């Protein structure tokens, strides 16, 4: 059975003491529950990764980075490498988020390099894809998502691809308060699973975790997660409050 995941993408939020407080509260709330059926992942900014991995050492919470360099080491001032992340027990890394595509010009070629470097260092990419509103309105959303996935991931062999987690995040839903309807999410997730099946076979497709992201919160999570091809969520704004984030986890 494929893994269910709820991952909290903090983006560029929280001071050190706020980060400490948020992780503490999440641990406190999660410790009271039994979340055997769902993996919880925290994605704080780089500077709090060590704090997060230290604080979650004794609890089933994984830590993800929000980005990684496409270089492994060397004279790249300001960059953070995959071996550095690995050495801090980081298990996952978000890639291809629409904000990085838009503000940092990340394209499929760069993302393919980052995917390779993460896999080489045994870190699981959470690969984001999703269309802009005009692309959906033009009926182009399936083509766009397919191209994002094929351009950045289709060079992988099936052993490598099995390690990927996908996140469908329609850009028009990110941070807008307008989530995809459960039907829209299910339709796209089923489409993504279908193209994976064509390329890598039914077994790989059945075992690939595909998360939904975009204004997912404690009110709509249950309906979204109830769909057969929606395996959890990548949560932005709603992951910044412990109670709200844990309610989303409880939606399974």
Q: CB of 52 within 8 A of CB of 81?
A: no
Q: Determine, following the binding rule CB under 6 A, whether residue 125 of this chain makes contact with ligand PEP.
A: no
**Exposure on the CB side of residue 101, measured as CA atoms within 13 A:** 19
236 binds ligand PEP (CB under 6 A): yes
- Distance of closest approach, residue 213 Cβ to ligand PEP, in angstroms: 3
50 Cα distance to chain centroid: 19
* Residue 237: both structure tokens together: 């704004």
Stretch that binds ligand PEP, among 56-64, 75-83, 117-125, 232-240 (CB under 6 A): 232-240
Interface residue with ligand PEP among 122, 137, 159, 175 (CB under 6 A) is: 175
Binder to ligand PEP among 169, 171, 186, 232 (CB under 6 A)? Answer: 169
CB-based burial label for 2 (10 Å; 0-12, 13-18, 19+): middle
Q: Which member of 97, 99, 106, 135 is catalytic?
A: 97
Question: Which of 135, 141, 169, 189 is an active site residue?
Answer: 169
Contact 43, 90 (CB under 8 A): no
174 contacts ligand PEP (rule: CB under 6 A): yes
Using the 8-state DSSP alphabet, how is residue 158 labeled? H
Please say which residue, 115 or 232, places its beta carbon nearer to ligand PEP.
232
Least distance in Å: CB of 241 to ligand PEP?
A: 12
Q: Does 251 bind ligand PEP (CB under 6 A)?
A: no
Question: Is there a contact between 245 and 238 (Cβ–Cβ < 8 Å)?
Answer: yes
Active site residue 169: yes
| Binding of ligand PEP by 213 (CB under 6 A) | yes
Dist CA 119 CA 125 (whole Å): 8
Helix (H) or strand (E) holding 165: strand 165-168
Unique residue bearing structure tokens 């999440």: 26
Give catalytic status of residue 97 as yes or no.
Answer: yes
CA torsion 189→193→194→197, rounded to 10°? 180
**Piece of the chain touching ligand PEP by CB under 6 A; list 67-75, 137-145, 168-176, 224-232:** 168-176
Residue 9 sits in the site that holds ligand PEP (CB under 6 A): yes
- Using CB under 6 A as the binding rule, whether residue 215 contacts ligand PEP is answered as yes
Cα dist from 34 to 88, 199, 241, whole Å: 26, 36, 20
Please identify which residue in 96, 125, 170, 237 interacts with ligand PEP, judged by CB under 6 A: 237
Q: Taking CB positions, which residue lies at the least distance from ligand PEP?
A: 236
Residues with catalytic annotation? Answer: 97, 169
Catalog residues that contact ligand PEP under the rule CB under 6 A. 9, 169, 174-175, 213-216, 234-238
């Amino acid at each position: 059975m494929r893994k269910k995941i709820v991952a909290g993408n903090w983006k560029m939020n929280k001071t050190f003491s706020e980060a400490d407080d948020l992780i503490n509260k999440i641990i406190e709330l999660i410790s009271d529950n039994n979340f055997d059926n769902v993996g919880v992942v925290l994605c704080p900014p780089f500077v709090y990764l060590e704090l997060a991995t230290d604080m979650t050492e004794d609890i089933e919470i994984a830590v993800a980075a929000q980005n990684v360099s496409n270089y492994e080491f060397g004279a790249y001032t300001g960059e953070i490498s995959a071996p550095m992340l690995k050495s801090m027990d980081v298990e996952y890394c978000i890639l291809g988020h629409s904000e990085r595509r838009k503000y940092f010009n990340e394209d499929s070629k760069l993302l393919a390099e980052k995917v390779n470097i993460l896999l080489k260092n045994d870190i699981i990419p959470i690969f984001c894809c999703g269309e802009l509103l005009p692309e959906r309105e033009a009926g182009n959303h399936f083509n766009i998502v397919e191209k994002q996935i094929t351009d950045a991931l289709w060079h992988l062999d099936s052993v490598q691809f099995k390690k990927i987690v996908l996140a469908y995040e329609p850009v028009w839903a990110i941070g807008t308060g307008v989530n995809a309807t459960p039907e829209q999410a299910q339709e796209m997730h089923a489409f993504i699973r279908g193209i994976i099946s064509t390329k890598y076979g039914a077994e790989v497709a059945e075992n690939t975790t595909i998360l939904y992201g975009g204004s997912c919160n404690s009110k709509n999570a249950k309906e979204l997660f109830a769909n057969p091809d929606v395996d959890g969520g990548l949560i932005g704004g709603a992951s910044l409050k412990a109670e709200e984030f844990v309610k989303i986890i409880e939606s399974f």
